[in-house]
Structure 1
Amino acid sequence: MNKIFLMVAVMFFAVVSIAQAQKFEGLAETPPMGWNSWNKFACDVNENLIKETADAMVSTGMKDDGYTYIVIDDCWHGERDSLGFIHANKERFPSGMKALVDYVHSKGLKFGIYSDAGWQTCGGKPGSRGREYQDAQTYASWGVDYLKYDWCNTEDLSAKGAYLTMRDALFEAGRPIVFSMCEWGTYNPWEWGEPIAHLWRTTGDIYSCFDCEYDHGDWSSWGVLQILDMQEGLRKYAGPGHWNDPDMMEVGNGMSTNEDQAHFSMWAMLAAPLIAGNDLRNMSDETKSILTNRDVIAVNQDPLGIQGFKYQMKDSVSVWFKPLKDNQWAVCFLNRSREEKKAEFDWEHEKVIDEINHLSPGFSKNEYSLINLWNKKDKTSTKNKLKANLKGHSVLMYRLEKKR
């Protein structure tokens, strides 16, 4: 009888434990900010790169501007030991992953790591399929703060089920870890991701171009405009602790300064995670000034956590609005064309309404000061009709402050 009672008790507590499993709350209340190794370095990663990047995040002032996570992407993996526990590649990470995490923490930053729901990662390294609880325990023991979880080599798996398993494994491991689902939007993760993850990819991989498709044969990478268009209809699913992720940024990876500004501005309007993907150790002054524009970052990090929306499109110029705290708004005019275009907007005659959140600036009744977030000398108000020339692939971005 005692053995039977013990078995029943164990089963009962196991069921209760599973039922109570959840994602960690109170994390990613604003879109995560940080850096990821993949866009610039792909599989060419090692501990010196990660240490130097952490150093650069501090020395460039990015840490002071809100960038928090140093995330190592694919190809850090070594082999699993005889018990199945994963270890870092000994040649690339001779000090071990725990020592590297400690180094990043010593800089006042947080550490992110990468794995995959399949047998292998996209780079052919050991995935977490069948080892979810082991890997979660390992990451927790190392002090990891963020997990990017990919979707390669996942034959016959249910996306929701696979990500739910890793969510539960992270929760059981006991260390609060931001969970980033990277299943490329294939199975509409925005519809089921909120109780599972803190952010989810909405598209395939980004590519360092403003308007293009890079065909890999059986899949494609996408330019900034293509990924922007793929966000249509998704804003209702985003908010504090659960964000749409249009992929990491390509600022500083070869586009023009205008294009980098537009890219950064639109990711801010989308309330997207601001995860830099360039070489922080060797940034131009222009790249640094874009990534550390505190006014644009503040739009992204606004505590309301409302994703912006496209209001109109005229002659290749789209107009986007984003509600902010204290009855403020952000507005961004985006020239999608390579050619210079005119932007015109008669505030008092435009009825801008955020239908999801039931908010409106009410331009016919209220006057707003316009604060240009890229050109601080440009000051006007909504009493004046806006007229401006926009260079190709550029933006005009304002914060609107209501006048009393």
Structure 2
Amino acid sequence: MMTRSTGAVRHGFVAALEPDYAVPPGETLRERLEELGMTQAELATRTGLTPKHINQVLQGVVPLSGEVAQRLEYAVKVPARLWNRLEADYRTQQVRLAQERAQAEDPEAVPWLASLPVAVLAAEGAIPAHPTDTASRVRQLLEFFGVANIAAWRELWRKPAAAFRQSYAYEALPGALAAWLRMGELAARQESPGSFSSAKVRRLLPELVQLTRRSPGEALAVARRELAAAGVVVVLVPDVPGARAYGATRWLGSFAVIQLSLRGKTEDVLWVTLFHELGHVLLHGRKGLFIEQDDADTPDGQPQVASGADEAITQEREAQQFALDTLFGEKGLARLDQITSTTEALDLADELGIGSAIVASQLQARGVWTHAHGARHRRTLPSLEEMRNPAPAPRPRPSKQERGGGAPRQR
């Protein structure tokens, strides 16, 4: 008989093997009778049951009740608790197999599977690579998403994911976005953060700003550690094709989760997205789900805030303004339009104590610099695995302020 893997090991999502058959406790009883050299008729006499009932128990036709289990303990010297457990396992397996058959025969099963990034999830170890038949894939994905059926998935995952399509000109794929969000949720649940404190997070902001000058992998590792102590878990989940997500913020119980995909692949996008998500954490309460995405027509690899006046878009603008205010300060933002040379841009980054790539990206976004000019100062991030496990890097050269020169940072 076959067994089917219902999960994967790499990320610790699910890792169980389930048989594709159900064995009645009567099979174990039959083996025990053979060991004892006892006939069914003798067992019927010893237990006070009819030969017909004994035969039905052996065939799995009738349940092996608690009373029968106790009688079997006396007759064949196997504890009643074992018979009860075998019976419970058998009935559970029967229900599971019946549900799997129904799920595989559901006319919505194949279209549902087609709407999800199955190959990506298998490659990431979120679901097993095999088996790949419809029934197995449906079961694997229901387990991955933590739901009992496709209707429950739509209610819990598709609705929130689909809602974010309405504010953007392109068509994101709700299934891809739901898969990306679920991977982030599962990764976050493996963490043990401290108690959330908005005051602690706010006190961390100056340190986080200074980290933007360091090697991104090393700096992000420090940021994740410090934020976790303040009750904010930051998880890195690879971009899922079709999701087009840079970052997301939500709450899991008592702690906040910031999920980053490293989409855009430059350090300025990483830091602006992180501070944008921190804006949601500090400004917008615990009930919302916030997702930062891009527009298919945007050339610069930057998360976009859609046009409109509804509450969600207003909150996105507030989070983006929080990010820029935190990184630049009011006077720093005003000075961006006065930059006329690369030297002035680098000097401004030094004075503000932020990475030069962040200044370059804002000059590019404002049209002060061309895309080509800005790209020369925006470094590409290492791979996601290197970002998760960075090698130590030397600290950057001191800024003018740290060397004793330049104006102090204005807020």
Tell me which interval the TM-score lies in, with the shorter structure as reference length: under 0.3
Query: Larger C-alpha radius of gyration, 1 or 2?
Result: 2
Task: Give the TM-score normalised by the residue count of structure 2.
Answer: 0.25
Task: Give the TM-score normalised by the residue count of structure 1.
Answer: 0.26
Looking at secondary structure, tell me which structure has more strand per residue: 1
